[in-house]
Structure 1
Amino acid sequence: MSRIVRSVVQERIGSRRAPGFRRAFHDGSRGRRHGVMQALDGLGYRGAVGLTLAASLLWGVWWMPIRWLEAEGLEGVWASLAMGLAALPVFGLMALRDRAGAVTAPQALLGALLMGLAAMLYGAALAFTDVVRAVVIFYLAPAWSTAIECLFMGRRWSLRSGIALGLSFLGVATIFRFDVTLDNLAAGDLAALLSGLAWAVGAALVFSRPGGRPVALSFFATLGLVLAAAAVLVIGGAAAGRWPGGAQALEAVPLALATGLLYIVPVLLVTIWAAQRLAPATMSFLLTAEIIAGVVSGALFLAEPFGVPEAVGAALIILGATAEAIAPPIRRASPVDSGQTGPGQGG
């Protein structure tokens, strides 16, 4: 994985500087694109920031549809799989109509698959551990993003980077009462940790390599979610989620369709779309609004433990992400709707 990231970034660093954000948005109108994407691209930079914040708030309360589906009998990973299966055909049809696959670089597709893996792991974390712990542990993602940018993207280590990393890891240690051992790390906690890492790597690949359209990347992200969930269920068996039986599963279909189509499709599409236009650390910072949404909603609606360690840990991680976000980006990502193709690809 590190070799792929390194080769991609070295190629990008040696290439001509990407066009500005606003110009790249306008250039995207030259190709044939889905009407939804035309509307999104017309919003510009401020629109990307605003929609990312809105998506972040919805990611923060994603535990709600997961718990709803659990109440219908789809336990554990089954809930994420059901929503992914509902969203996958929609993204597939959008990608076909947009003719997006022909201009999608393999590195960007790999990044999207990893983001889908991250979404599946995050959904599993929300199902298997406290919402507050899942949300906060996931948000080591800015720390992973900092490490990726410094190790592979030509960014120099600085005092600010060290502070951001230190605050993030101190926040997690605080949540665990400074007793971070394998015995205290539940399956859901581990899923949240791996989810943040997968998200950071996936976002870095999508950010670093133009050559794919958001609808195609959203399709591959959903495909990654579905494949990862299916693999976990096959390997983990009942430990990953008990199959409720055919009759009960059918009763959950309407809710799965509703949450997949009305929740996963818009939130994931906006997240992937914005990930192409914002540096990984900046993207992760904007998504820290998810911590607020998750912590507040969890404290209000769930009887889960939330005390001083959880509050202090969440605050430290947010501070770490804030310190990271004010760091100057290496460059701006160029959107891929301009019809550009990767090396060796046809138009």
Structure 2
Amino acid sequence: MTLRPPSSPSPVLPALSLTFNAFVWGVSWWPFRQFQAQGLHPLWTTALIYTLAVLLIAAAQPRALIHMLRTPVLWVLVLASGSTNAAFNWGVAIGDVVRVVLLFYLMPLWALLLARVLLRERLDAAAGLRMVLALSGAAVVLWPQQGGLPLPRNLAEVLGVVGGFCFAVNNVMLRREAHQPAAARGLAMFLGGAVVAGTLAALLTTAGAVAPPALPTPAWGLAAVAFSLCFIASNLALQYGASRLPANVTAVVMLSELLFASVSTFALGAGEFSARLLAGGALIVSAVVLAARRPGKPAH
């Protein structure tokens, strides 16, 4: 009888965890629009649900809060994550969901440039190809039918691009600060959503550009708590899955967010599909897949 080496842990559960995270983000545009219909701007909704998440996490992990407050570099993560969430949530709530999500996924382009500046990583021919694919995809998506430069045409598209850039900063900082406790990093990311979105909402409300938040009914208050718990669960699922799968596999699985966003948008009539959008999306996705094909270690 031959002895077999112990089997490695099954990748199914980590992959399902990442898929759940992608599902939450892919369909999150719909709850944000429902809250907006009740008089709560997406920025106020973001601030509310992330404040609830911070309170829950801080109560469960008080040491994480102490560590975060004593570690100034984590406040860069607070700003990066907060800007990502504020821009993405606002963009998908007011614009064409698929276009916003596609522009958000220009993140590999920004990640290449930021990794060169912050992590001193070298750019090779493969990196150049990914940059060309991502930029070409963005140009196809943004090229106006009436001619002109392929630039964002409205606030939602600007927010998609800005959100993707901030997400790249967020990811680079997570890699640079991988030695920090996971709970402290997670708390910093949720605190960012509360602080950045809340500050923007307050400033825009003071300027008269955003309506003051309406007092939620008990039913909508419970919905906000449930929404917050969904984001906490998705964050835990992301950390569980990403820590057990190679980074390249994680990146490919996370692309399912595009599928969930596209299907939900099509089903609920919140966006328009065209050959140009599909072609541009294919180029952007190709850039992400090529980036994911690099050998990767499990994330920490």
What is the TM-score when the length of structure 1 is the normalising length? Answer: 0.73
Matches of residues 212-291 of structure 1 in structure 2 within 5 Å? 212-237=180-205, 241-246=210-215, 248=216, 252-261=220-229, 263-271=230-238, 284-291=251-258
Could you tell me whether the CA contact under 8 Å between 2:242 and 2:298 is conserved in 1?
A: no
Q: Quick one: distance in 1 between partners of 2:49 and 2:87? A: 14
Q: Quick one: distance in 1 between partners of 2:101 and 2:162? A: 12
Gaps of 5+ in 1: 1-42, 336-347
What is the percent sequence identity of the aligned residues?
A: 22
> Displacement, 1:71?
2.7
Q: What whole-Å deviation, never above 9, does each CA across 1:221-264 have from its counterpart, x for those lacking one?
A: 11111111122112222766422533x46652121111112x11
> Displacement, 1:79?
2.1
Aligned to 1:166: 132
Could you tell me whether the CA contact under 8 Å between 1:200 and 1:280 is conserved in 2?
A: no
Q: Quick one: distance in 1 between partners of 2:51 and 2:278? A: 35
Could you tell me whether the CA contact under 8 Å between 1:291 and 1:314 is conserved in 2?
A: no
> Displacement, 1:67?
1.7
Could you tell me whether the CA contact under 8 Å between 1:232 and 1:240 is conserved in 2?
A: no
Could you tell me whether the CA contact under 8 Å between 1:80 and 1:123 is conserved in 2?
A: yes
> Displacement, 1:303?
4.2
Q: What whole-Å deviation, never above 9, does each CA across 1:89-136 have from its counterpart, x for those lacking one?
A: 11111221xx33565554345225412321121101112211111111
Gaps of 5+ in 2: 1-8
Matches of residues 53-132 of structure 1 in structure 2 within 5 Å? 53-96=19-62, 99-101=63-65, 105-132=71-98
**Shift in CA distance, 289/251, structure 1 to aligned 2, threshold 3 Å:** same
Q: Quick one: distance in 2 between partners of 1:139 and 1:59? A: 13
Aligned to 1:148: 114
Aligned to 1:136: 102
Q: 2:170 aligns with which of 194, 202, 215?
A: 202
Q: Quick one: distance in 2 between partners of 1:46 and 1:153? A: 32
Aligned length: 287
Could you tell me whether the CA contact under 8 Å between 1:172 and 1:313 is conserved in 2?
A: yes
Q: Quick one: distance in 2 between partners of 1:282 and 1:145? A: 17
